[in-house]
Amino acid sequence: MTEKTDSKAKNNAARPPSFWRRFGMQFGIWGVGIAMWLVFVVTASEAFTSKDIYLAFASSTPLFALMAIPLTLIVITGEIDLSFPSVMALATATFAKIYSGTGNIWLGFLVALIAGTLAGYFNGWLVTYFAIPSLVITIGTGFLFRGIELAWMNGTGVGLTDKELAGVSNLLVGRSFFGIANQFWWAVLATIILWFVLNRTQFGAHVFLTGDNKTSAQLMGVNVNRVKRRTFAIMGFFAAFAGLVASFEVSYFWPTLGEGLLMNSIASVFLGGTSVFGGIGTVTGTFVGSFIIGAINAGIVASGINAFYTQVFFGLVIILSVIMQAVISKRIKR
């Protein structure tokens, strides 16, 4: 009986998901997002037919896209991370402290990325070692990391206007190609790298297996705890990088960095077609979803609608994505 069950689990795990299962929800939600964008083109045509607004998207949207893209990996494994805005702030505070203390830009940059990676790994370790839901753990660590950062910085910001920082600033947020902000190209690069990781490496295959069926993945020899810890570490690395990008964009580090980016990032992941139940998702979908979110953010304001309605939209995106995935899953099981 056990051998038959194990064999069946292995066969199910080895069978690739159908095209509709992998991309059906993604196409459906993209269709809704694009339809809403077209509404804004009609209702705010002056703004949405100007290239300036798209250049603005390329400047602001990557600030949360850089975190939504790696968050996709965590969600695919069946977990969630709500602490990354705090990791973003803590890592950037580390850069500010080291730079102000030593004057060494690259040392500060390196230590900030390491700090973010370690914070992310710490999240993954807590989730896997104590078998506690990541939702609960990352709420707690979010408060922990934010509290450490605020106490460390004494609630004060740091200006990043020194001449010595000009080179790094230009590298991160300059306008090098076609007048498009460099953070856009960083988001593109992050998408390409993580797409390759997910689709062309053994680790990527293990990410999907872990989220699709943890038991089957273990039967196939996958160390699911290690996979999850690594996805959280990747999230921490990119949160740190996004914090540096966001701070150099305005030439200032502020203690509340990242607080307004949580919902944008999560909505981008689900709008991009990643299943809240795990096992299904694409970083390219998240990348496109981020820019649909950015367009709708701007469209709501440009159309004269109260900006508070953006929160309504984010809530609807998350609710509809869960409902659509549940419906698709039930139909496939039939």
The CA angle 203-236-250, to the nearest 5 degrees, is: 135
Give me the count of residues in the chain.
Answer: 334
pLDDT of 64 strictly over 60: yes
Contacts of 75 (CB under 8 A, 6+ apart): 211, 269, 274, 275, 276, 278, 281
CB 321 within 8 A of CB 276: yes
Query: What pLDDT is recorded for position 16?
Result: 47
Query: What pLDDT is recorded for position 165?
Result: 95
Using the structure block, give the residue that is written with the tokens 């753990």.
137
pLDDT of 116 strictly over 90: yes
Query: Which two structure tokens, joined as six digits, stand for 169?
Result: 């600033």
Q: How confident is the model at residue 28 (pLDDT cuts 50, 70, 90)?
A: low
Domain chopping of the chain, boundaries: 20-333
pLDDT of 160 strictly over 60: yes
Query: Greater confidence, 44 or 15?
Result: 44
Q: How confident is the model at residue 13 (pLDDT cuts 50, 70, 90)?
A: very low
**Mean pLDDT of all residues in 15-25:** 56
Query: Greater confidence, 308 or 211?
Result: 211
Query: Greater confidence, 248 or 178?
Result: 248
CB 56 within 8 A of CB 237: no
pTM for the model: 0.89
Using the structure block, give the residue that is written with the tokens 């230009």.
170
**Mean pLDDT of all residues in 58-87:** 97
Query: What pLDDT is recorded for position 240?
Result: 99
Distance in angstroms (rounded) separating the CA atoms of residues 232 and 239: 10
Distance in angstroms (rounded) separating the CA atoms of residues 54 and 187: 15
Query: Which two structure tokens, joined as six digits, stand for 284?
Result: 């390219």
Q: How confident is the model at residue 19 (pLDDT cuts 50, 70, 90)?
A: low
**Mean pLDDT of all residues in 4-32:** 55
Buried b (16+ CB within 10 A) or exposed e, 74-93: bbbbbbbbbbbbbbbbbbbb
Task: For residue 276, give the 3-state DSSP assignment.
Answer: coil
Q: How confident is the model at residue 23 (pLDDT cuts 50, 70, 90)?
A: low
Query: What pLDDT is recorded for position 277?
Result: 87
Distance in angstroms (rounded) separating the CA atoms of residues 86 and 146: 5
User: Lowest mean pLDDT: which of 60-64, 107-111, 323-327?
Assistant: 323-327
Mean pLDDT taken over the chain: 88
Buried b (16+ CB within 10 A) or exposed e, 265-304: bbbbbbbbbbbbebbbbbbbbbbbbbbbbbbbbbbbbbee
Residue type present at position 153: M
pLDDT per residue as tens digits for the range 84-94: 999 999 999 99
pLDDT per residue as tens digits for the range 225-260: 999 999 999 999 999 999 999 999 999 999 999 998
Query: What pLDDT is recorded for position 320?
Result: 78
Which residues share a beta bridge with 236? none
Query: What pLDDT is recorded for position 309?
Result: 80
Distance in angstroms (rounded) separating the CA atoms of residues 174 and 91: 21
Phi, psi angles (nearest 5°) of residue 207: -60, -50
Contacts of 47 (CB under 8 A, 6+ apart): 53, 298, 299, 302
In whole angstroms, how large is the CA radius of gyration of the chain?
A: 20
- C-alpha neighbours within 13 Å on the C-beta side of residue 46: 4
CB 127 within 8 A of CB 79: yes
**Mean pLDDT of all residues in 109-132:** 98
Query: Which two structure tokens, joined as six digits, stand for 198?
Result: 């997910």
Count of other CB atoms within 10 angstroms of residue 256 = 13
Query: What pLDDT is recorded for position 314?
Result: 75
- Architecture category of domain 20-333 in CATH: Orthogonal Bundle (1.10)
Distance in angstroms (rounded) separating the CA atoms of residues 49 and 199: 36
Contacts of 81 (CB under 8 A, 6+ apart): 71, 74, 120, 123, 134, 138, 232, 235
